[in-house]
Amino acid sequence: MKKLIFILLFIPSLLLSQDISIIEYNADFNKQNSIIWIDSLEKCTVKKINIQSNPTVQKINDIQNLPGLVIYLDGIEVKRFKGNIMMEFKFTREEIQKEINKWIID
C-alpha cells in the first residue's frame, strides 16, 4: 500500500517535469547578428552553437538560416525561429519568452 501511494504521488511530478532548452545557431561570419538578449530568457537553459565549428550539428538539425533559434522541450523541437535573408534575427525577446511560457506547466 505504501508503494502504491508513493507511485501515485511521484509519477505525476515526473510526467509534469520538463526541460526547456533554447539553442541559438550561428556562425563566426555572422557574429554581428548574434542574439544579444538570449541569455536574459527565463525558465529555460540557453546554449549557443557555432555551426562552422559543428557542421554535423548543423546538418542533423537542418539549420539553413542564421541566426536560428530553436526551442526544445525534453530534447524534442517544438518551435523554430529563423533569421531573415539579411541574416538578421528580427524576433523580440518578448516574443520568444511568450513562446517559452506556452510550454511551461506551473
Q: How many CA atoms, within 13 angstroms, populate the side-chain half-sphere of residue 16?
A: 8
Could you give phi then psi for residue 82, rounded to 5 degrees? -120, 145
Q: What's the whole-model pTM score?
A: 0.81
Give the span between the Cα atoms of 68 and 57, in whole angstroms.
13
Average of pLDDT values for 30-58?
A: 96
**Can you identify the CATH homologous superfamily of domain 18-102?**
Glutaredoxin (3.40.30.10)
For residue range 4-41, list pLDDT tens digits in order. Answer: 343 334 444 434 457 999 999 999 999 999 999 999 99
